[in-house]
């Protein structure tokens, strides 16, 4: 039977280098309103956020690309990110990421936004033969503006089993996490990345550990395994 021997919490700030679009529901969009809204916390004044599922899914996809494996074809990646049929517990938990206080203050005080907390970017579809906009090809895309930051949190569960040594398992999970973060910083998050959206950078890393010796309370540590 698996034994949970440690939980590692990793905090970081996600800074937007370019505008971010992660799509949300169009149910409440008015006629003549924006075509592609972003996902928001409707019970908190419509503040945008980054779903943990979007962040984790992109990290996994990039890992599979960089490792050159087919979708779901790597047992190591599956062990860390989980299986689609839930036959094992995912070692990696990715929390939803919310705007930090400084960014909320910045956006609240900005008079140049099209909507509270977001901007409206016009996109158009060009006829490649005439070089003109296709009829009905103009659309509006909502984005979180560049320069704001989100608070992110990751949890890595370290398990000990008869098959795996927990120290090696921990190092493997951390190195895979690092590779995914590096790949994401060199790619994009959300939609329209090939058009410049979604460039991000992780900053302000902090590390915590909880185990039986700490009564499962998180304690900050100076560093993790050297990356």
Residue ranges per structural domain of the chain? 3-221
Q: Is 143 helix (H, G, I), strand (E, B) or coil?
A: strand
CA distance 2 to 178: 25
Q: What pTM was estimated for this model as a whole?
A: 0.84
Element (H, E) at 131: none
Q: In this predicted structure, which of 43-52, 60-69, 84-93, 146-155 has the lowest mean pLDDT?
A: 84-93
CB 145 within 8 A of CB 16: yes
pLDDT cut 70: percent of the chain above it = 78
In the predicted model, what is the mean pLDDT of the chain?
A: 83
Buried residues in 66-80 as b, exposed as e (16+ CB within 10 A)? eeeeeeeebeebbbb
Measured between its terminal Cα atoms, the distance across the chain in Å is: 30
Are 174 and 225 within 8 A, CB to CB? yes
Residue 11 vs residue 80, higher pLDDT: 11
**What sign for the dihedral angle of Cα 202, 205, 209, 210?**
negative
pLDDT top residue among 83 and 98: 98
C-alpha span between 58 and 104 (Å, rounded) = 25
| Between 74 and 153, the higher pLDDT residue | 153
Among 125, 98, 99, 116, CA closest to 195? 125
Whose tokens are 């938990």? That residue is: 93
Take residue 167 and report the two structure tokens written for it: 């120290």
Q: How confident is the model over 153-180, as pLDDT tens digits?
A: 999 998 886 666 667 778 888 999 999 9
- Name residue 97's beta-bridge partners: 50
Which of the two residues, 124 and 38, has the higher pLDDT score?
38
Q: Decide the pairing of beta strands 47-50 and 92-94.
A: unpaired
Mean pLDDT of 131-160: 81
């Amino acid at each position: 039977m698996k034994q949970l021997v440690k939980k590692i919490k990793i905090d970081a700030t996600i800074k937007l280098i370019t505008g971010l679009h992660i799509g949300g529901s169009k149910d409440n969009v008015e006629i003549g309103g924006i075509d592609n809204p972003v996902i928001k916390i409707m019970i908190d004044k419509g503040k945008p956020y980054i779903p943990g599922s979007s962040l984790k899914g992109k990290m996994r996809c990039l890992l599979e690309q960089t490792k050159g494996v087919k979708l779901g074809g790597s047992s190591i990646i599956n062990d860390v990110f989980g299986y689609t049929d839930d036959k094992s517990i995912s070692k990696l938990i990715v929390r939803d990421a919310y705007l930090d206080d400084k960014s909320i203050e910045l956006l609240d005080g900005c008079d140049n936004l099209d909507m509270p907390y977001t901007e409206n970017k016009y996109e158009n579809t060009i006829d490649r033969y005439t070089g003109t906009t296709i009829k009905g090809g103009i659309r509006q895309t909502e984005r979180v503006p560049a320069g704001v930051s989100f608070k992110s949190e990751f949890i890595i569960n370290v398990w000990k089993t008869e098959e795996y040594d927990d120290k090696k398992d921990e190092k493997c999970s951390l190195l895979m996490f690092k590779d995914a973060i590096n790949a994401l910083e060199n790619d994009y998050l959300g939609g329209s990345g090939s058009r410049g959206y979604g460039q991000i950078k992780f900053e302000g890393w902090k590390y915590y550990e909880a185990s039986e010796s700490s009564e499962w309370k998180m304690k900050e540590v100076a560093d993790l395994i050297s990356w």
